[in-house]
Amino acid sequence: MPSVPVVELSEVTRRFATGVTALTGVSVAFDTGSFTAVMGPSGSGKSTLLQCAAGLDRPTSGRVTLAGQELTALGERRLTLLRRERIGFVFQSFNLMPALTAEQNVALPLRLAGRRPRRSEVRASLAAVGLADRAGHRPGELSGGQQQRVAIARALLTAPAVVFADEPTGALDRNSGEQVLRLLRDMVDQRRQTVVMVTHDAHAAAYADRVLFLTDGRIDGQIVAPTAEAIMIHMARLEAAAC
C-alpha cells in the first residue's frame, strides 16, 4: 500500500521584507508514518521550511497542503484552528509552566483554546511517553529528558497528523536526548505518526527514515536509511562548498 503525503510543499519560496530569500522553489512531501530529519549549514532555510510546512509562516509563493487542505488558502482563524487540531509542536525549549503539574501542562493548550480534555485522554498521552507515574510532578521535579517527554505528550494530545520538532534534543544531555529520539522513533514505528525534525546533530538525524539537506534555501540531496557517518560526510561536503 503506497504511503500518502501528510504534508506537501509545492514550489515554495519565502522572501522576507529585508530582501533575504530563505527558500527558493522547494518541493517536498512528508508521508504518513515517516520520520524525516532536515539538516543543512547555518542559514540554509531549515527553520523557515519547518515554519512554512507547519503554517506558522506564509510562503511568498507556492503551496503548502496538510492532509489535502491547502494551508496557503486559509484565513488566520481557520489556520490557527487547523494547527491546534492537526499539528503537534516540540521545540528545543520545553515551554512548560513551572507552577503546573505534568498533567496540567499537557492539557493547558486545549484549555486555553476553550476546550476541556478528558483526564483519561491526558493520562493516556503521558502514558504514551512513559510518564504515567509522573502526572502530578511539576517541571522542577523532572529531569530535562522527562520535561521534553511532557512536551511531546502535549503535542500528541490531539492525535495530530504531523509532529514538527525543532532541535528537540538541543537542550538535553546525550542520555536524555537518546530517550527522546527513541520515543520519536517509536511513535513512527508503533503509531504511524509522521515526524519532521530539524536538527544539526548527525547522530540524532540517523534515527530518521531519511535526511533532507538544504543549502541556500534549496533542497540539496537526501539520504534514505541514513547512518551518522554518511550524514557527517554529506554535511562536510555541503559546508566545504559553502566556504
Cα separation, 36 vs 53, whole angstroms? 13
Q: How many CB atoms lie within 10 A of CB 113?
A: 12
C-alpha to C-alpha distance for 67 and 20, rounded to whole angstroms: 30
**What domains appear along the chain, each with residue ranges and CATH number?**
5-242 (3.40.50.300)
Residue-by-residue pLDDT tens, the chain, 243 positions:
456 799 999 999 999 999 999 999 999 999 999 999 999 998 999 999 999 999 999 999 999 999 889 998 899 999 988 888 899 999 988 999 999 999 999 999 888 878 888 999 999 999 999 999 999 999 999 999 999 999 999 999 988 999 999 999 998 999 999 999 999 999 999 999 999 999 999 999 999 999 999 999 999 999 999 999 999 999 999 888 876
Helices 144-156 and 102-112: crossing angle in degrees, nearest 10, is 40
Residue-wise pLDDT tens digits, 30-88: 999 999 999 999 899 999 999 999 999 999 999 999 988 999 889 999 998 888 889 99
- Taking the C-alpha atoms of residue 217 and residue 33, their distance in angstroms, rounded to an integer, is 26
pLDDT of residue 3: 65
DSSP 8-state secondary structure symbol assigned to residue 71: G
CA angle 146, 163, 181 (to 5 degrees): 45
Among 174, 181, 172, residue whose Cα is nearest residue 152: 181
Quote the pTM value.
0.93
pLDDT on residue 158 = 87
Question: Which pLDDT score, from 0 to 100, does residue 114 have?
Answer: 83
What nine digits make up the cell of 204? 540524532
Angle formed by the axes of helices 119-128 and 144-156, nearest 10°:
130
CA distance 62 to 184: 30
For position 1, what pLDDT does the model report?
46
Which residues lie closer than 8 Å to 80 by C-beta, 6 or more apart? Answer: none
75-107 exposure pattern, b = at least 16 Cβ within 10 A, e = fewer: eeeebeebbeebbbbbbbebebeeeebbbbbbb
Q: 509532529: which residue's cell?
A: 163
CA distance 173 to 72: 38
Residue linked to cell 481557520: 78
**How many CB atoms are closer than 10 A to CB 182?**
12
